[in-house]
Amino acid sequence: MSGANGHAQDVTESIPTVAMLAPGSRFSAEQIKELVAALEVPFDPSQIEWRVMNTTKGQQPVRGQVVPYADQRAYTDRLNALFTPAGWTRKYTIHTSANFERTSDQKIVAKVLVTCELTIFGLGSHSATGEEFAHNPNAGTSAEAQAFKRSASCFGLGRYLYYFSGTWVDLDERKRPKSVPQLAGWATPAGWREGLRPRCVSEVKRSVQSAGEDTTIGWHSGQAAGGDGDVSHEIEGMERILGKRMYRGILKSIARVWNPKEIQDKAIEEKVLAHMQAAERGLRRAEAAREKAGLATFAKVLGSLRLSSLDQVDNLKTLQEIVTALEAAVRSKE
């Protein structure tokens, strides 16, 4: 479900286009507030497409779990509308991992890693890394787009898409959605401007901490979100943020289940969510440290743990070891 470009100006019509600032110049505090707010506005529904993430097996009709996404052209349209093409830039760095055995099928594979540094003049820079298996003919393009979108989300652009946990719909014989869900009001420009927002991890219910666990750097302490008994939905939404391996690893180790709906104990449910929020913070720290330490150091740290990617991490202890090693490497450089 793809739409034409050109809706970005409609979305940002209340914010005038900003010409490129002179080197060293900055926006005023009020301008920054307005620009960040404009970046956070959802894309026009016509620019949203749907990707099938999971499918049912041995069931008719075949159903798939779909999540919304926007082509990277929607991101560049928004940036151009707000800052002009001369008001922002991006830089890519490409690296290939060493060969490793993939756990799912025991095949020897490698990954293409692309880091994108996105700079908006007057606002600053953010960088993020995308990755794809090297045997994919479009590995570079895919990893590049992923890196660009992730770095843009650090400014708030497209960040709202991370709140979707997936909706199940019927698929056709080519495993394409026969229909797509209707976007909630908060996921549209009009609804967002009216003040509608998604239920998210910032909605604090109460703090959860596991007895006897080390919380000195914020790994196992966190805010259990939810309210109104909707913690299970919050947990489901974390799968896309954490990746399947970490998501399932926490579910299995804390709740002994694969599906959050199977958790009967509310305290366990909130503990799972708290650990997943800690994992999200840990992954963000790992990505930030990776950019500063460099891909060579990152690969060395993962190799010492017999890993080739953060996607292979399934527990907080290993993630903490990675972050600690990367941050130590950054400090030694500084």
pLDDT tens-digit map of 167-194: 888 998 888 999 888 888 899 999 998 8
Residue 58 has pLDDT above 80, yes or no: no
Contacting residues for 65 by C-beta, under 8 A, at least 6 apart: 52, 53, 54, 55, 166, 167, 168
Q: H or E element: which one contains 333?
A: helix 316-333
Q: H or E element: which one contains 322?
A: helix 316-333
Per-residue model confidence as pLDDT tens digits over 250-309: 999 998 888 888 888 878 888 898 888 888 888 888 888 888 888 888 888 988 988 888
Amino acid present at 168 = W
Q: H or E element: which one contains 320?
A: helix 316-333
Query: Could you confirm whether domain 1-197 is CATH 3.30.390.80?
Result: yes
Average pLDDT for the chain:
81
Q: How many whole angstroms separate alpha carbon 30 and alpha carbon 42?
A: 21
Name the residue with tokens 């800052």.
83
Per-residue model confidence as pLDDT tens digits over 118-149: 999 988 999 988 999 999 999 999 999 999 99
Q: How much is the average pLDDT of 236-257?
A: 88
Residue 66 has pLDDT above 60, yes or no: yes
- Residue ranges of the alpha helices (H) in 139-185? 139-153
User: Which of 99, 45, 62, 70 has its CA nearest to residue 178?
Assistant: 62
Contacting residues for 286 by C-beta, under 8 A, at least 6 apart: 310, 319, 322, 323, 326
Q: H or E element: which one contains 120?
A: strand 111-120
The three-class DSSP label of residue 206 is strand
Domain with CATH 3.30.390.80 in the chain: 1-197
Q: H or E element: which one contains 9?
A: helix 8-11
Q: How many whole angstroms separate alpha carbon 39 and alpha carbon 153?
A: 9
- Residue ranges of the alpha helices (H) in 160-315? 189-193, 231-242, 244-250, 266-293, 295-304
Q: In terms of residues, how long is the chain?
A: 334
**What pLDDT sits at residue 209?**
31
Per-residue model confidence as pLDDT tens digits over 202-238: 333 332 233 233 333 344 433 333 333 467 777 887 8
Q: How far is CA 52 from CA 145, 146, 157, 180, 261, in A?
A: 18, 17, 22, 11, 21
Residue 105 DSSP label: T
Name the residue with tokens 């009020």.
30
Q: What are phi and psi of 3, to 5 degrees?
A: -115, 170
